Structure 1
Amino acid sequence: MIALVFLLSIFLVACGGKEGGIKKDTGNSLIYGRGADSKKLDPIQVTDGESLQVTQMIYDTLVQYKDENTEVQPGLAEKWENSADGKVWTFHLRKNVKFHDGTPFNADAVVFNFERWMDKNHPQHKGGEFTYYPDMFGGYKGDSTHVINKVSKVDDHTVKFELNRPLGPFLANIAMPPFAIGSPEAIKKDPEKFNENPVGTGPYKFVEWKKNDTITLEKNPDYWVKGLPKTDKLIFKSIPDNTARFNALKSGDIDLMNGMNPTDAPQVEKDSKLQLFKQQGMNVAYLSFNMKKKPFDNPKVRQAISYAVNKEGIIKNFYAGLAEPAINPYPSFMMGYNKDVKEYEFNLDKAKQLLKEAGFEKGLKLKLHAPQDPRPYLPNGKKVAEFLKEDFKKIGIDAEIVTAEWKTYQDQVKSGQHELALYGWNGDNGDPDNFLYVLLDKNNAREKDASNISYYMSEEVHKLLVEAQSTVDQKKREELYKKAQEIIKKDAPWVPLVHATVPVAGKKELKGFFPHPTSGYKLYKVSR
């Protein structure tokens, strides 16, 4: 998702020593280059990786993922147990942990955060949308579909969660960065501005945010994990253009970068001063049909366009082979993947025939939204849109490409302003629920801030996904997810495009970096 206009200001940002450029820090610091700025720093109010990557350095969750995969391990909770019926979870919290403002982390803090998230009438449920909460827990307090009945304090260091029904991915969900625990006192001071003045228990403290430029964090000397973080300062540097960011890495102005052009990966491997990391593709890029708008209420139109998408061509031209064609909404290494689902092959004749059957033999004029900024699953959205446009033209579809920078783009598609839109998802927790329920369940087709941006409203799929959520029997869950994938493929609410292997580049001397499949990098473990 690269802006094609190479602005002078971007060039200067990428060049150290120039006015407006990065001043090299001679101290023990790490500069991380990325393609876009954060939206907010209150983790419950965001879904974008740029925001959550920063918040993971400031906050902690009750449980967390291991360094190399999505297996859950202790975080702010040292241990936990689940009742025989799967409906009561009890967490035993770490002692002597403090928030960055000096206030204690305890059971009261956990209860406060969850009540703030779940209750739309809570006095601190302010500052924006709390998207991930209803996505992962079936709605808000008072909704018939809400999973969490009550969160209560047992004693200062013990918290009990009582669920309305079992939730198979419950532990995996609460390990997600949106459910990090913030300082109640800091939130109460100004819940509207907390997203600009974050206070957690994490390895770094917030120092400064220069919008569309840098976010600076400093070491938390009282962090509860001894020996961490490894650096005294962590700086997130926004450089929207992939090439400019890569040049900044080669010149030594940044230490680590995401969102690189896949075609630059061979250069990294040949450069003795750099190293290349390859992140497992727990993601999907897709082409969404807005089913609230004609002609996408017609399944033959959706199926026709599905036949007009050349996935192999997209991978060859824009991913340098670092991707595989997507057939289902999530990658094949995850639980419950249905390998028997048949793909819509690239077949323009079949696409034309289906359009004719749908009553559009004379063609269609459509608007195709594409993001300007690079995403891990879609490094150049506008170029992919242009590639799709050429094949669409061959079947009689005239696609006008509409672009916007990432924050505006998200607002547009999540409020249903698009007809066709290139979008994607990087998995948060390694569970199929995080793809299928979040992206394709009718509960998440909200008017504002939708996660299901196709507004796909299948009652049959909904029943399967809720049943899969409501059991801890993994074999049963797998079968339910396989059935859901069959229906989704037939209904074609969107075209899964690719699962991308994400290249990440850094200086050769860096140690301790692992490209986690969630894209949640533990930068506090990186040293030189």
Structure 2
Amino acid sequence: MRHQTFVSALCGIGLLGSASLAQAANSLVFCSEGSPGGFDIAQFTGGTDNDAAQPLYNRLTEFEQGGTAVVPALATRWDVSADGLTYTFHLREGVKFHSNKNFKPTRDFNADDVLFTFNRMLDRNHPFRVAYPAEFPYFTSMSLDQNLASVTALDPQTVQFTLREVDAAFVQNIAMNFASILSLEYAEHLMASGRPSDINHQPIGTGPFAFQRYQKDSQIRYRAHPQYWAPEQVKLDQLVFSINTDAAVRVQKLRKNECQVTLNPRPADLAALKADPGLKVMEQTGYNLGYIAYNVKRAPLDQLPVRQALDMAVNKQAILAAVYQQAGQLAVGAMPPTQWGYDATIKDAAHDPQKARELLAAAGIKEGTELTLWAMPVQRPYNPNAKLMAEMLQADWAKVGLKVRIVSYEWGEYLKRTKDGEHDIALIGWTGDNGDPDNWLGTLFSCAAIGSNNYSQWCDQPYDQLVRQAKRITDRDQRSELYRQAQQRFKQQVPITPIAHSMVNQPLSAKVEGFKVSPFGRNDFNGVSLID
């Protein structure tokens, strides 16, 4: 076996939320932007869901805070076989699970918990999955349901994963939140008591903070985990997420010290935030993409000339100026230019409404044809104002003879319905999860990602073959060439119109210390503290 030993220890993950005005002395308040769908994070893909779950769990491997490097967590080290198909993880000892009023763990974390976590996603007939049916979009969109042959325990502290084919991003993939380790003992307790769905509503993990309660559209409360395996990283006693969908309300709460950290401010608010002596705004080039997804399974968007026409009718420069207020970079491809493997030769079609009209006419699309355009109800790092963008697109497409109706839903419902393909066109986006090109080209646009993150419902075999092949090779140059070909094919087929990669601006109180901006768009409060 080829031995890889990782010596740096990962600090735990924390997320601090928002609180009521009557805060505990040692609590940090986070003004979040939406309500999570639940806390069984393997079921969800949204940033809001990931933020809400992050304080609760650990994974075998995790990302260093503020970076993309993978470091040990519940596994202290791992070995990879010479053929790249077998990964052996050596587990951390003495790790304690949380408890709640209905459950008290009787043992420490061990291999049985790893097997439960992954076999539930792998086996549709797993007893817990039968009792509490769920789908796992990340797991399937990355084809782990097909490629993971087995997960076995060699002993209580050693677990072996066997793949059918090489997966160059495997260690990065299982550092993502969907692979958070759950308690088998808790699952068995829930099964015995007839409440298996509580795994989503009353979560138990090993993370730095334990769940207390959740009131949808209001708040989530956490408390410090007193037996966390890296206690030096838990510097706060209470976490409360104050949920506010309105960016203006979040900014107002920050200024009043009703929360100490917020996210996704409106570009128009940035100058005042930066001028406030009690605040600071951390900036980072966005590892993200905001785009328009065309549902290719719905007529007339199943026709390439129609998608080409819609694409060239969009006035991207006007959107950049009005929506991003120049705090964004023009996007032309399926992933950001900061991602290795990006093809810088790809160019946009010219903005040409007249040519768009001609393409629509040639495709038999009548003047006044109606389409729905779905607009997100929340601000995201990749789209600071979806409502305004939708209105501008509505006007752009009216100029080429289309009648576009804007639709929106509550964020969780929006994601569910768009994944089910109920839309014609949807505004959506992505912030990278693991630093690998497959997290863009595979996770978002592969055939396997339909029903999860592939909002275009697009399945193109030539493209898919290139992406699958690239994932089975470990040489970066060879992978990059395959990804270059895939990006060329993607651009030709126009399943989306890329709009922008936005600058991430993170406002917080000047009293907050230790916070680092995540390249993955996560709000991670591991090791964060407040100064007087």
Q: TM-score, normalised by structure 2?
A: 0.92
**AA at the equivalent of 1:311:** K
Q: Please tell me whether residue 228 in structure 1 is matched to residue 230 in structure 2.
A: no
Specify the alignment match of 1:88 in structure 2. 86
Specify the alignment match of 1:97 in structure 2. 95
CA contact (8 A) 1:80 1:90 kept: yes
Paired with 2:358 and 2:368, the residues of 1 have a C-alpha distance of 11
Specify the alignment match of 1:178 in structure 2. 178
SS at match of 2:443: helix
Paired with 1:395 and 1:361, the residues of 2 have a C-alpha distance of 10
**AA at the equivalent of 2:90:** H
* Counterpart selection for 1:423 from 392, 412, 428: 428
**Unaligned regions of 5+ residues in structure 2, if any?**
1-17, 100-104
Specify the alignment match of 2:479 in structure 1. 477
Alignment of 1:120-139 (within 5 A): 120-125=124-129, 126-136=132-142, 138=143
**AA at the equivalent of 1:200:** G
Superposition deviation, residue 139 in structure 1: 5.4
SS at match of 1:58: coil
SS at match of 2:375: strand
Q: Please tell me whether residue 118 in structure 1 is matched to residue 85 in structure 2.
A: no
Specify the alignment match of 1:408 in structure 2. 413
Specify the alignment match of 2:489 in structure 1. 487
**AA at the equivalent of 1:513:** F
Structure 1 residues 230-282: Cα deviation after superposition (integer angstroms, max 9, x where no partner): 11111111011110111011111111001211221111110000010124311
Specify the alignment match of 2:42 in structure 1. 44
Q: Please tell me whether residue 273 in structure 1 is matched to residue 271 in structure 2.
A: no
Superposition deviation, residue 316 in structure 1: 1.0
Q: Please tell me whether residue 305 in structure 1 is matched to residue 310 in structure 2.
A: yes
Specify the alignment match of 1:441 in structure 2. 446
Structure 1 residues 108-152: Cα deviation after superposition (integer angstroms, max 9, x where no partner): 11111111111111011225321111112x153xxxxx1110111
Structure 1 residues 62-105: Cα deviation after superposition (integer angstroms, max 9, x where no partner): 01111222111111111111111110001111111111133311
Paired with 2:408 and 2:120, the residues of 1 have a C-alpha distance of 35
CA contact (8 A) 2:65 2:526 kept: no
SS at match of 1:234: strand
Structure 1 residues 297-317: Cα deviation after superposition (integer angstroms, max 9, x where no partner): 110110011101122211211
Superposition deviation, residue 214 in structure 1: 0.7
Paired with 2:82 and 2:466, the residues of 1 have a C-alpha distance of 23
Superposition deviation, residue 187 in structure 1: 2.2
Number of aligned positions between the proteins: 500
Identity of matched residues, %? 34
Paired with 1:191 and 1:45, the residues of 2 have a C-alpha distance of 14
Paired with 1:434 and 1:416, the residues of 2 have a C-alpha distance of 21
Superposition deviation, residue 25 in structure 1: 0.9
Specify the alignment match of 1:497 in structure 2. 499
Structure 1 residues 424-472: Cα deviation after superposition (integer angstroms, max 9, x where no partner): 11111111111111111112223xxx32121111100111011011111
Superposition deviation, residue 363 in structure 1: 4.7
**AA at the equivalent of 1:444:** A
SS at match of 1:523: coil
Paired with 1:328 and 1:511, the residues of 2 have a C-alpha distance of 36
Paired with 1:46 and 1:302, the residues of 2 have a C-alpha distance of 29
Q: CA RMSD in A?
A: 1.5
SS at match of 1:209: strand
Paired with 1:54 and 1:365, the residues of 2 have a C-alpha distance of 38
Identify the range of structure 1 (374-383 vs 359-368) with the bigger mean alpha-carbon deviation. 359-368
Specify the alignment match of 2:110 in structure 1. 106
**AA at the equivalent of 1:76:** L
Alignment of 1:220-259 (within 5 A): 220-259=225-264
Mark the CA change 1:498 to 1:294 in structure 2 (over 3 Å): closer, same or farther.
Answer: same
**AA at the equivalent of 2:121:** W
Superposition deviation, residue 361 in structure 1: 5.8
Paired with 1:54 and 1:445, the residues of 2 have a C-alpha distance of 25
Specify the alignment match of 2:331 in structure 1. 326
Paired with 2:285 and 2:151, the residues of 1 have a C-alpha distance of 35
CA contact (8 A) 2:141 2:450 kept: no
Q: Please tell me whether residue 316 in structure 1 is matched to residue 321 in structure 2.
A: yes
Q: Please tell me whether residue 345 in structure 1 is matched to residue 328 in structure 2.
A: no
Specify the alignment match of 1:161 in structure 2. 161
Paired with 2:186 and 2:459, the residues of 1 have a C-alpha distance of 39
* Counterpart selection for 1:27 from 21, 25, 28: 25
CA contact (8 A) 1:282 1:430 kept: no
SS at match of 1:231: coil
**AA at the equivalent of 1:169:** A
Paired with 2:421 and 2:40, the residues of 1 have a C-alpha distance of 24
Paired with 1:475 and 1:524, the residues of 2 have a C-alpha distance of 35
Paired with 2:127 and 2:231, the residues of 1 have a C-alpha distance of 36
CA contact (8 A) 1:231 1:524 kept: no
SS at match of 1:227: helix
Paired with 1:226 and 1:349, the residues of 2 have a C-alpha distance of 63
**Unaligned regions of 5+ residues in structure 1, if any?**
1-15, 141-145
SS at match of 1:128: coil
SS at match of 1:438: coil
**AA at the equivalent of 1:94:** R
**AA at the equivalent of 2:123:** D
Alignment of 1:275-290 (within 5 A): 275-290=280-295
Paired with 1:207 and 1:120, the residues of 2 have a C-alpha distance of 30
Specify the alignment match of 2:378 in structure 1. 373
Paired with 1:26 and 1:202, the residues of 2 have a C-alpha distance of 21
Superposition deviation, residue 24 in structure 1: 3.2
Specify the alignment match of 1:385 in structure 2. 390
List 4+ stretches of structure 1 deviating above 4 A. Answer: none
**AA at the equivalent of 1:161:** F
CA contact (8 A) 1:34 1:259 kept: no
Q: TM-score, normalised by structure 1?
A: 0.92
Specify the alignment match of 2:152 in structure 1. 152
Structure 1 residues 366-395: Cα deviation after superposition (integer angstroms, max 9, x where no partner): 111112122221122111100111111111
Paired with 1:46 and 1:379, the residues of 2 have a C-alpha distance of 22
Specify the alignment match of 2:529 in structure 1. 527
Paired with 1:362 and 1:135, the residues of 2 have a C-alpha distance of 38
Paired with 1:200 and 1:430, the residues of 2 have a C-alpha distance of 25
Mark the CA change 1:265 to 1:416 in structure 2 (over 3 Å): closer, same or farther.
Answer: same
**AA at the equivalent of 2:92:** R
CA contact (8 A) 2:33 2:244 kept: yes
Structure 1 residues 392-411: Cα deviation after superposition (integer angstroms, max 9, x where no partner): 11111111111111111112
SS at match of 1:240: coil
